[in-house]
Structure 1
Amino acid sequence: MFAAYVAVTSLTAALNTAGAYADFIGHESVGQIADRLGVPRSWMARLGALMGAGALGLLAGFAVPVLGTAAAAGLILYFLGAIAAHLRVGDHDLAGALTMLALASASLALGLAHRGAW
């Protein structure tokens, strides 16, 4: 169980770090998605900060479990919001957001299974 928890949580943290980086540098692919969803590009750094904080929280959760639990829950809420933003404008290209939601959910579930609620 521990190996699965570490592997999935590390992957989730790495992908969220990459997403945060793309938001911070204003990568054009992220900008195109923001435009499609009607999200101002000026929000990208803030959204990237949320993803980055989630990634750091997941990694900190290896040492302080409550941080990992909170970070995984926060990322779940973040990606539920992303899915809602896509659906709001009728955009059904949800593969990325659903994948990230699944990884955040798996990180939470495996963390709770490994160490308990706190």
Structure 2
Amino acid sequence: MFALYLTVTLLASALNGSAAVANLIGHEYPKTEADRNRIPRSWVRPLGMLLGAGALGLLAGFVVPVVGTLAAAGLVLYFLCALGAHVRAGNFRLGAWALFFGLALAALAVNLAYHRGA
């Protein structure tokens, strides 16, 4: 069980961390997605900070398990809100969203399963 917990958590942290970096450095992709979803570009960096906090929280969960659980739950909520933004804007290109959401949900599930069994 630990191997699954470790793999999913590291993968979710790496993916969200890379997305956070893209947002924070002002890469064009997050800006284009913000425009497509009718989100102000001024929100791109704060949203990147939330992604970064989630990624770091997942890693901190190896030391303080409740932090990892809360970070995974926060990422699930983040991506549910992102789905709402996509639907509101009529943007049904949800491939990347599904990957990020699925990984956040998997991180939450394995986190809860691993720590419940411990």
- TM-score by structure 2 length? 0.96
In structure 2, the partner of 1:79 is 79
Shift of 1:117: 9.0
Give the letter for the 2:106 counterpart: A
Shift of 1:29: 1.1
Q: From the superposition, tell whether residues 34 and 117 of structure 1 become closer, same or farther in structure 2 (CA, over 3 Å).
A: farther
Instruction: Count how many residue pairs are aligned between Structure 1 and Structure 2.
Output: 118
Q: Unpaired segments of 5 or more residues in structure 2?
A: none
CA contact (8 A) 1:83 1:98 kept: no
Shift of 1:72: 0.2
CA distance in 2, matches of 1:54, 1:29: 20
CA distance in 1, matches of 2:70, 2:24: 23
Runs of 4+ in 1 over 6 A off after TM superposition: none
CA distance in 1, matches of 2:117, 2:84: 28
Give the letter for the 2:94 counterpart: L
In structure 2, the partner of 1:17 is 17
Shift of 1:115: 1.0
In structure 2, the partner of 1:36 is 36
CA distance in 2, matches of 1:99, 1:65: 24
CA distance in 2, matches of 1:108, 1:31: 28
Per-residue CA distance 1:47-76 (angstroms, 9 max, x = gap): 000000000000000110000000000000
- TM-score by structure 1 length? 0.96
Shift of 1:44: 0.8
Give the letter for the 2:108 counterpart: L
Q: From the superposition, tell whether residues 117 and 60 of structure 1 become closer, same or farther in structure 2 (CA, over 3 Å).
A: farther
In structure 1, the partner of 2:114 is 114
RMSD: 1.3
Give the letter for the 1:113 counterpart: A
Q: Unpaired segments of 5 or more residues in structure 1?
A: none
Shift of 1:98: 1.3
Percent identical: 54
Q: From the superposition, tell whether residues 43 and 117 of structure 1 become closer, same or farther in structure 2 (CA, over 3 Å).
A: farther
Shift of 1:102: 0.7
Alignment of 1:40-59 (within 5 A): 40-59=40-59
